[in-house]
Amino acid sequence: MAASSACLVGNGLSTCSTKPSLSKDFYGRHLLLPSSLPSLGKVSKAVFLRASLDQRQHEGRRGFLKLLLGNAGLGVPALLGSGNAYADEQGVSSSRMSYSRFLEYLDKDRVKKVDLFENGTIAIVEALSPELGNRVQRVRVQLPGLSQELLQKFREKNIDFAAHNAQEDSGSLLFNLIGNLAFPLILIGGLFLLSRRSSGGMGGPGGPGFPLAFGQSKAKFQMEPNTGVTFDDVAGVDEAKQDFMEVVEFLKKPERFTAVGARIPKGVLLVGPPGTGKTLLAKAIAGEAGVPFFSISGSEFVEMFVGVGASRVRDLFKKAKENAPCIVFVDEIDAVGRQRGTGIGGGNDEREQTLNQLLTEMDGFEGNTGIIVIAATNRADILDSALLRPGRFDRQVSVDVPDIRGRTEILKVHGGNKKFDGDVSLDVIAMRTPGFSGADLANLLNEAAILAGRRGKTAISSKEIDDSIDRIVAGMEGTVMTDGKSKSLVAYHEVGHAICGTLTPGHDPVQKVTLIPRGQARGLTWFIPTDDPTLISKQQLFARIVGGLGGRAAEEVIFGENEVTTGAAGDLQQITGLAKQMVTTFGMSEIGPWSLMESSAQSADVIMRMMARNSMSERLAEDIDTAVKRLSDSAYEIALRHIRNNREAMDKIVEVLLEKETMTGDEFRAILSEFVEIPVENRVTPSVPSPVAV
């Protein structure tokens, strides 16, 4: 049974009453005078009574809160841990008083009030301090123990005193509770407000303003797609465009196909290098099909929270089924469709869970009738085999780099809104840009238009086209060299490339030789193929090695073996790689028609190359090195012979090049043919157009 005391204090008089109670463990309170400032030493009795009544009501509310938290199991730790701090919360100042001085103040009737804590070992004393002009001062006194003599003295002196136990620390409990919950509540409230602000105030569970709405799909939905792109804007990929036109026709006139038992493909996978028009094809089919269109990137499925990706996949296909028939386009699907079993997390990896959900939605137990999934990737070799099977992706459409006819068609599409001079030929541009994708060709014409505007021209000329090609392939134009020796060395180096390439049967013709630096190159020699190099012969590959070594051969013959420079570093790297490919990949050496390189070692994935098993013996590796060296040595001997036998022609060409700094292929062949006969297979007829000289 606990006992509660109530004391009313006023004008130095006190009345204390004590009564037994069974239910006052949480509700019973000592009504204490709140901490007073030193300047408030004398107050009226009405003020004390009002403060006591207000505090009684306030402590009643705090007692209910404490009871509620105690039932929840939260109040006990705070009660146990905050008893020691309660004395300090009663307004204890930093000043202390010794026990002997306290007894002296007690004898001189200067003590007005005493609060006892911790079993009577600590006292908070309100006393009149003569040093402060007899103003009330609160001090802390360490007592040796609570004796009956000391209590009797308090009664004799008519001093207001009270004892406090550990259960009277509801203020500490409340403060501790607020301190522990303040930061989480502020954080949650801030996130909620930010989410509402970002969504324009539209909240609600699961809505766009709800903080936990990240499990919903982020796909962009268009009931009537208006991409501004049609099949007329797509060129150079006729085969892929034909496949998509069939899908569009199936959506518009399904009876033509269902009459013969055909069903619409469930999925179409676009595979090809970057910039070849995969996303452009998706935009075209969205503009032509006339059905609802969902578009999303593969990376938008994956989040740091496990299960979010799978939830977004479910939400995407749920919306798609509600709007069937429709098209779902997933760009860069390799971000989520990578082969399973290679992740660090194994089967619990978030990406693999997302992929499993995607496989189920595309072709699972329930099916997805009326949903056509179109995906694009340039990493088809790393996609999971379960994703590529028919039933999920019925068609795999290859969107490769366009040939010369495709490049011409692409240039016509992108050049429709541009003005050209009469000397510009799109066929010549297409011939000069082998290996360019659709994005590269669009960038080429845009760079040419920017150059024409910078130079104050009203139309794009061949000079802007030529400079744009050089800038895209080789880099920005640098400052022309003024040092006579370095300029002469670079001129002989570049002319050496041109002569060795032109005099070696099977080499591509020279398009331009220039001494204008671009990127890290001090000079450049351009070769262009007469047609698309879909198939390259052994003679052509060997001729490229000879032409690549022509610059080093020219430096050695003209300036001496000790004067060769580092300018041939890039050439040596290229011809070494080409010779190694001839031996290990193409089987064009005396070792025989072997493929000495595993497919995984040639993969674009770095991890796959690192895990590739070395299947060749040490003897075979030595034979490969010997064959590569033999190819390089024989090609270098031919290059040295070309340079030595045509020294007079080289000097003449270098003299013209140093004067003009840029020489076209026709000018080069005209001078060279005066001294030596060019092989028949390397001759260029005058009917072939050539770009304007820089």
Which of 12, 47, 14 shows the shortest CA–CA distance to 30?
14
Q: What are phi and psi of 228, to 5 degrees?
A: 75, 10
Q: What are phi and psi of 363, to 5 degrees?
A: -155, 75
Q: What are phi and psi of 122, to 5 degrees?
A: -130, 135
Beta strand 96-97 with 135-142 is: parallel
> Which tokens in the block code for residue 514?
């220039």
Secondary structure of residue 274 in the 3-state scheme = coil
Q: Is the distance from CB of 554 to CB of 496 less than 8 angstroms?
A: yes
> Which tokens in the block code for residue 20?
């037994």
Distances 57 to 5, 31, 53, 68 between C-alpha atoms, Å: 16, 10, 6, 17
Which of 397, 392, 410 shows the shortest CA–CA distance to 245?
397
Q: How far apart are CA 49 and CA 685, in angstroms?
A: 117
Q: How far apart are CA 635 and CA 549, in angstroms?
A: 7
Q: What is the DSSP string of 171-226?
A: HHHHHHHHHHHHHHHHHHHHHHHHHHHHTTT--STTSTTSTTGGGS---EEESS--
Q: What are phi and psi of 138, to 5 degrees?
A: -100, 125
Which of 298, 300, 282 shows the shortest CA–CA distance to 225?
282
494 among known catalytic residues: yes
Which helix (H) or strand (E) segment holds residue 480: the answer is none
Each as own residue / partner, the long-range contacts of residues 247-252 (CB below 8 Å, 24 or more positions apart, any chain) are: 247/285, 247/289, 247/372, 248/285, 248/288, 248/289, 251/289, 251/290, 251/291, 251/325, 251/372, 252/289, 252/290
Secondary structure of residue 127 in the 3-state scheme = strand
Secondary structure of residue 271 in the 3-state scheme = strand
> Out of 168, 350, 494, 555, which one is annotated catalytic?
494
Q: What is the DSSP string of 551-571?
A: HHHHHHHHH-GGG--GGGHHH
Q: Would you give the end-to-end CA distance of the chain in angstroms?
A: 107
Q: Name the H helices within 379-461.
A: 385-388, 404-414, 426-432, 438-454
**Counts of helices then strands in the chain (DSSP H, E):** 24, 16
Locate the DSSP E strands across 572-678: 662-664
For 516, half-sphere exposure in the C-beta direction (CA atoms, 13 angstrom radius) is: 18
> Which tokens in the block code for residue 671?
């001078």
> Which tokens in the block code for residue 184?
């989480």
Distances 495 to 271, 452, 502 between C-alpha atoms, Å: 41, 30, 10
Q: Is the distance from CB of 529 to CB of 679 less than 8 angstroms?
A: no
Q: How far apart are CA 291 and CA 656, in angstroms?
A: 64
Hey, which residues are catalytic here? Answer: 494
